[in-house]
Structure 1
Amino acid sequence: MQFKHPEVLYFLALLLVPILVHLFQLQRFVKVPFTNVAFLQKLVLQTRKSSRIKKWLILATRMLLLTALIFAFAQPYFSNQRLDEKQHFFIYLDNSLSTNAVGEKGNLLPVATQEIIENITEKTSYSLLTNNHFYSRKTASELKEKLLKTTTTAKKSNLASVFLKMTSEHKSATSPTKNIVISDFQNIKREEIDNAPEHTFFVKLVPEQKSNISIDSVFVEDTGGSNMSVHAILKNQGTTKNNIPIAIYNNNKLLNKQTVAIEENETTEITFSVVKTPVFLGKIDINFNDMYAFDNSFYFTINTAKKINVLAIGESNSFLQRIYTEEEFNFTSSSVQNVNYNLIDKQHLIVLNELKNIPETLLKSLESYTKKGGSLVVIPSKESILSSYNTFFNTLGVGELLSQRNDSLKITSIHYSHPLLKDVFEKKVTNFQYPYVKTSFNTAFNNASTIVSFENKQGFIKQIDLPNAAMYWVAAPLQKDNSNFTNSPLIVPVFYNIGKQGLQLSELYYTINKQNTIDIDEGLGKDEVLRIASDKDSFIPLQQTFQNKTRITTKDQPLVAGFYQIQEQNEVLRSVAFNYDKSESLLDFLSFSETDGIKIATSVKNTLENINNENKIRWLWKWFLGLAIVSLFLEILILKFFKP
């Protein structure tokens, strides 16, 4: 039991006053002469005894009355917290796209929001974390205002960062904190919730429907002539679906429409034949009412192709000509003596192919070229002069060439996780014919990552990060008398992707909430900026200007799928398309059977009510006031009916 005004209890000391009065009050009896003395003596003894009992009963009732009144004014109560201690709730509300599914009471997110609003109290402070906002230490009315503005977002938070935020908030808290995690627990594993802070309550938002069809990906195939084929991969989760309408549009103009049937938990491919146009703003739509609506549309763009400029300096390079074809590249080859230095700054990639030494004029031009964002591939010669190469490498600040190695080595390892080889291989290759080299070079490079390596684990092809660009190092000459690597299938994806990295042209589509890089084949003036705009929104992305291109990086924006234009002032430079992350379409939810030892509720309302009841203040002053009234009536009854 606790008291709102414990200082009132000091008045209990005043209870000594009535006790002293009753103990020391001596009532004097008046003597009256009677004839029958023996009878009177017996009567006096009985009267004195009855009178003493009555006094003790009256004393007890008055003591009870005063004690009850003092306790009532001290305002006692039962609670798990002190009255002057304000409770704090930390609420994580998952508002990812998947929470827009329909549950038993309606759409999951609006229902959860409404139940929070109905069960918050002004006596508690609240911190609200969503996937795109954080509100700290808000009152109930302030929290209500924020909740009413909460909508679904393409941003996603992992539970580790949520728990880290909770722990950080606890350290700055001056009152006890309860944590509430409200989510559908999509793509969450059991071990992720084990690291939750103390006093954390979990509420799972459960969708009713368990079936969904989505457009997983799109790719385009040039079939020649005036037409092209657009292929859409459809993914079905749940029961077999028949006669699903699917249509393709170009800038909202309907081009083709089909119906498709798809088996239970299978994928299928749909092909549309469409006429080629210089700019194609493609949209594929599924007209079907299922669990999620946001993944029933898929956007992609086809822009007029820009060619990537590649310059090879050095020895014969027929293998480069076969890789850097006219359809995608402007490939130029030159000997070191005949280099046109005016072309260097216009290149997106320069390949130094087996130079014996690097002339000082070329060195200075390449230094300026890399500072402006140009990429570089260096293939040494068997007769390379180490001092000349090291002068070049020291100028770039990448490291040094150590020594030449003349024993044969096999090329055995492909680093599939390297960004250059992303999506190149469907699976890891374990039985390919190992290429070999006879002569190679040992190096010590800074900021290097290995793409392909020798059997001794040393790097054969490395990427070295420069401040504004990248240099790719091949550790051995590629002439046929030294290596058969040019006959290996591996050479094509490696060098092709190196070329594509030189100018990262816009892809068919980009994924929202992931880092995307887009190169515009145009340098900007000092005060010029690019912006990305749609019909409803626009923003200025992170951008970096080089000599012959501007690199745009997006991640936090945009957050709505659709078509966007990259603009310089009012001029449209390129159209791009963004789609939602396909992991949001997966029906992979944490099940209750996986949460042994951790209680997960399914009702936001019941969870908040239970927590509020635990901390509810139960006042007792009314009971003590009632006890005081009862003791007063007892005293009246004793005085009226108790006759000594």
Structure 2
Amino acid sequence: MQFKNPEILYFFALLIIPILVHLFQLQKFVKTPFTNVAFLQKLQQQTRKSSRIKKWLILATRLLLFSAILLAFAQPYFSDKNIDKKQHTFIYLDNSLSTNTKGEKGNLLKIAAQEIIESSNEKDVYSLQTNSNFYKDISKNELKNILLKIENTSKKLDFSTVFLKINQQNISKTNTLHKNILISDFQNTYNKKFTNVTPAFSAIKLESSQKSNLSIDSVFISNANTTNFTVNVIIKNQGQEKNNTPISIFNNENLISKQSFNIDEDATKIIQFTIQNQDNFSGKIQLTFSDTFQFDNTYFFNLSKRKKASVLAIGNEADFLAKIYTENEFNFTNSTVQNVNYNSIPKQQLIILNSLENLPEILAQSITEFSKNGGSLVIIPNEKSEVNSYNSFFNKLQIGKFENKINDTLKITSINYNHPLFKNVFSKKVNNFQYPSVYSLYPISSKNSNIIISFENNTPFISELKNNIYYISSSLAKTNSNFLNSPLIVPVFYNFGQLSFQFPQLSYRVATENKIRVETQLGKDEILTITNNENSFIPLQQTFQNNVIITTDEQPLQAGIYYILKQKDTLQNIAFNFPKEESSLQYIDLNTLAKNNKNIEISSSIPATFDALNKKNEVQWLWKWFLALAIVSLLLEILILKFYKP
């Protein structure tokens, strides 16, 4: 038994007063002489004995009366918690895309929200965390209004963020009982987020009634030529085999082609569509199939007309560059130092400084500005390069120190196959090719260089000194190296040009950081906007001389085709899709999780969890019973005084 006002109990000490009064109250009896003394003595003894019993009964009833009144004012109760402590319940409700499916009772998210509303206690305080919002210290009525409007979102919230929020709530609240409830489907992407220091919580798993799902994993383009291209759609099947499943491809809303396919159990398959070349293709792949998830049955992509990358080589004329940077793929220009058109430098995507003995200050300044604005740069020294001139240039670029020439014959032996420069170049690692050699080199000291190709002594031959700045440590003149005769020369310089111009991706992911390069020039007060038929937003953007890098993160949240606008002009189309991780049917085994984490409690359902919490917080007040006892004591005293005659 606990008391709301335990300080009242100190007044029990005052009960000593009626006891003392009773004990020390002396009553003087008047003696009256009678003739029959023996009879009177017997009568006198009986009278005193009866009077003493009556007084003890009256004392007992009064003590009982005062005690009952004191206990009633102390407000006793039975409960598993202290009445002075408030109950705060933290609820995480997973409203990710994967909870937008059917369970035994209906839509997982909607049923979960409804059960929380029906089971929550009006007297408790709640904090609600969803994947998109956090609502702190709200009442049941506020909780109800929020849950009635809750919708699925493409945002994914990490459990580590949820636990951090729980800890913040627990620290900020004193004299409060905390209960943490996590309601989710617990996809296995969360599995590594639980440790021994995870806050205690009750886990309620939302389970789909279907155990099979067909999804569009990704799309890529192949066999592109002047006439047509092939759209390759990767289909992923989870569960039993599926037959005669329709799949369609649209350009905007126009149906281009349709076919059906069969897919084995738990398999992946590529479906191909051959499409006639078009300047812009805003594609949509549509699966017509009813399964666990519907959001992954549609995939958007955008294919823009391929643009040529502009490449400028500064130095003596180099035939090998003209052969690599052909007219059908690149806008290639070769210029001597004396004839450089400085106005054209900002318009290039790639500049190659080919075997310059020194770099004039005006050229160094222009190239530095070009690099800062996002342009790609390849530096090839001359056999007679002036160290001081190059060092001054390197200092402007902040890429390290150009060191003195070393005369030594070295073989080029190692390739960094993981570098983006060699993506899709080699089908396998090559170890027995004919090694090209150099006879002299200019090494550099750089802390952040990424080696692409190296010599036999592990020093770099080609390295990436900074984003999009590449350095070849040796002159490529035939008198100094036979690298021009190596099969590596073509993929290396070809990909220098390809990587310098970032062609738009086929699609991007919603609610994820994406960096998109847009070829345009903006005025002082101009901005780019991303829009579709439903919403519009201004992304974070970084403006360079000939392009703008836009970054999307929180927006957009819906898949579809969007348009990048400059005022009212559409610069390009971009496609966004939902994250494919949400299509997973692999879930955490909560029983195993609970065995490994003692502070995790598994609950069978939302109502059961809240019922247990409400019973634990239930208070049984006893003051009414003690008040009734006081009344009974008073009535007993009245009855004793009236009817008990000693």
CA distance in 2, matches of 1:379, 1:80: 79
Contact conserved, 1:504 with 1:517, CA < 8 A, in 2?
A: no
| Structure 1 unaligned blocks of 5 or more | none
CA distance in 2, matches of 1:3, 1:548: 76
Partner residue in 2 for 1:575: 573
Structure 2 counterparts to residues 213-228 of structure 1, below 5 A: 213-222=214-223, 224=225, 226-228=227-229
Partner residue in 2 for 1:139: 139
Residues 256 and 49 (structure 1), Cα distance of their counterparts in 2 relative to 1, 3 Å cut: same
CA distance in 1, matches of 2:59, 2:495: 100
Partner residue in 2 for 1:548: 546
Residues 137 and 635 (structure 1), Cα distance of their counterparts in 2 relative to 1, 3 Å cut: same
Residues 642 and 479 (structure 1), Cα distance of their counterparts in 2 relative to 1, 3 Å cut: farther
Contact conserved, 1:101 with 1:207, CA < 8 A, in 2?
A: yes
Partner residue in 1 for 2:251: 250
Residues 480 and 180 (structure 1), Cα distance of their counterparts in 2 relative to 1, 3 Å cut: farther
SS at match of 1:342: coil
Farther-moved stretch of structure 1 (599-608 vs 236-245): 599-608
Contact conserved, 1:375 with 1:502, CA < 8 A, in 2?
A: yes
CA distance in 2, matches of 1:135, 1:427: 53
Partner residue in 1 for 2:532: 534
Residues 578 and 390 (structure 1), Cα distance of their counterparts in 2 relative to 1, 3 Å cut: same
Partner residue in 1 for 2:271: 270
Partner residue in 1 for 2:55: 55
Deviations 1:120-175 (A, max 9, x none): 34443333222222223333333333333321111112122222233334333344
Partner residue in 2 for 1:620: 622
- Write the letter of the residue equivalent to 1:343: S
Contact conserved, 1:352 with 1:378, CA < 8 A, in 2?
A: yes
2:592 to 594, 617, 624: 594
The Cα of 1:457 is off from its aligned counterpart by 5.4
CA distance in 1, matches of 2:426, 2:604: 40
Farther-moved stretch of structure 1 (258-267 vs 547-556): 547-556
Residues 178 and 497 (structure 1), Cα distance of their counterparts in 2 relative to 1, 3 Å cut: farther
The Cα of 1:320 is off from its aligned counterpart by 4.2
Contact conserved, 2:201 with 2:601, CA < 8 A, in 1?
A: no
CA distance in 2, matches of 1:424, 1:224: 18
CA distance in 1, matches of 2:485, 2:108: 57
SS at match of 2:189: coil
Partner residue in 1 for 2:161: 161
SS at match of 1:21: helix
State whether structure 2 residue 204 is matched by structure 1 residue 203. Answer: yes
1:607 to 606, 609, 612: 609
Partner residue in 2 for 1:304: 305
CA distance in 2, matches of 1:343, 1:546: 15
Residues 30 and 511 (structure 1), Cα distance of their counterparts in 2 relative to 1, 3 Å cut: same
- Write the letter of the residue equivalent to 1:369: F
CA distance in 1, matches of 2:316, 2:592: 63
CA distance in 2, matches of 1:422, 1:117: 57
The Cα of 1:293 is off from its aligned counterpart by 0.5
Structure 2 counterparts to residues 40-439 of structure 1, below 5 A: 40-79=40-79, 81-176=81-176, 177-194=178-195, 197-222=198-223, 224=225, 226-315=227-316, 317=318, 319-321=320-322, 323-405=324-406, 406=408, 408=410, 410-412=412-414, 414=416, 416=418, 420=420, 424=424, 429=429, 433=433, 435=435, 437-438=437-438, 439=440
TM-score, normalised with respect to structure 1: 0.89
Residues 142 and 479 (structure 1), Cα distance of their counterparts in 2 relative to 1, 3 Å cut: farther
The Cα of 1:230 is off from its aligned counterpart by 1.7
Structure 1 vs Structure 2 CA RMSD: 3.1
SS at match of 1:552: strand
- Write the letter of the residue equivalent to 2:471: W
The Cα of 1:470 is off from its aligned counterpart by 3.6
Deviations 1:235-293 (A, max 9, x none): 00011111111111111111221111111000111112233222211111011111110
CA distance in 2, matches of 1:234, 1:66: 82
Contact conserved, 1:205 with 1:602, CA < 8 A, in 2?
A: no
CA distance in 1, matches of 2:63, 2:456: 96
Residues 57 and 432 (structure 1), Cα distance of their counterparts in 2 relative to 1, 3 Å cut: farther
Partner residue in 2 for 1:515: 513
Farther-moved stretch of structure 1 (484-493 vs 550-559): 484-493
CA distance in 2, matches of 1:299, 1:87: 47
Partner residue in 2 for 1:559: 557
SS at match of 2:573: strand
CA distance in 2, matches of 1:619, 1:428: 79
CA distance in 1, matches of 2:116, 2:483: 64
Residues 346 and 195 (structure 1), Cα distance of their counterparts in 2 relative to 1, 3 Å cut: farther
- Write the letter of the residue equivalent to 1:616: E
The Cα of 1:437 is off from its aligned counterpart by 4.7
Residues 481 and 234 (structure 1), Cα distance of their counterparts in 2 relative to 1, 3 Å cut: farther
Contact conserved, 2:129 with 2:135, CA < 8 A, in 1?
A: yes
- Write the letter of the residue equivalent to 1:358: L
CA distance in 2, matches of 1:535, 1:556: 18
Deviations 1:185-231 (A, max 9, x none): 21335441115543333222222211110011112234546433222
Residues 423 and 286 (structure 1), Cα distance of their counterparts in 2 relative to 1, 3 Å cut: farther
The Cα of 1:529 is off from its aligned counterpart by 1.0
Deviations 1:96-116 (A, max 9, x none): 111112222222222222222
The Cα of 1:397 is off from its aligned counterpart by 2.5
Deviations 1:62-90 (A, max 9, x none): 21221112111221234455434433333
The Cα of 1:299 is off from its aligned counterpart by 0.6
Contact conserved, 1:163 with 1:196, CA < 8 A, in 2?
A: no
Report how many residues are paired: 639
Farther-moved stretch of structure 1 (566-575 vs 80-89): 80-89
- Write the letter of the residue equivalent to 2:355: E
- Write the letter of the residue equivalent to 1:518: I
Farther-moved stretch of structure 1 (580-589 vs 216-225): 216-225
The Cα of 1:574 is off from its aligned counterpart by 0.9
Residues 423 and 412 (structure 1), Cα distance of their counterparts in 2 relative to 1, 3 Å cut: closer
